[in-house]
Structure 1
């Protein structure tokens, strides 16, 4: 999954760069389409895959401010702030 995300990222960058190249040589319609497709693929395919890959084995409760986690933080501060 990690390599697929990297390859997709490089492909999107190339697509956007090629789109800007086409815009510079005078073919604005094709350049705009390529840049637009690159942005859409990055927003609707790459970002969800990346977020899923980074969060698939994580516990969401570890990152929420529950009473238990607040107590852990207070206890940690008390232990580490001793003179």
Structure 2
């Protein structure tokens, strides 16, 4: 999965750079498809890959997590 993300990133970035460098009649389309590919395909795949094994409850501000943070903050002050 990591190599798919790298490949998508390089292809979309290459499309954007090629659109800026080469003076072609479809340069603007290369830039547009590169940007669309980056933000509609590469970034969501990357986000899924990074979050797939994580528990979302660990990152939410619930009463239990706030309590843990306050307890940890109190422990850090005593050092």
Cross-structure match for 1:55 = 51
TM-score (norm 1): 0.88
Q: How does 1:57-76 map to 2 (within 5 A)?
A: 57-76=53-72
User: Mind listing any 5+ residue stretches in structure 1 that lack a counterpart?
Assistant: none
Distance 2:34 2:14 in 1: 9
CA deviations 1:35-61 (Å, max 9, x no partner) are 001011111111110110000000000
Tell which structure's C-alpha radius of gyration is larger: 1
Q: Which runs of 4+ in 1 moved over 4 A?
A: none
Aligned length, in residue pairs: 79
Distance 2:21 2:26 in 1: 10
Q: Which piece of structure 1 moves more, 9-18 or 49-58?
A: 9-18
CA deviations 1:7-46 (Å, max 9, x no partner) are 1111111111111123xx3x3x410010001011111111
Distance 1:39 1:56 in 2: 24
3-state DSSP of counterpart to 1:62 = helix
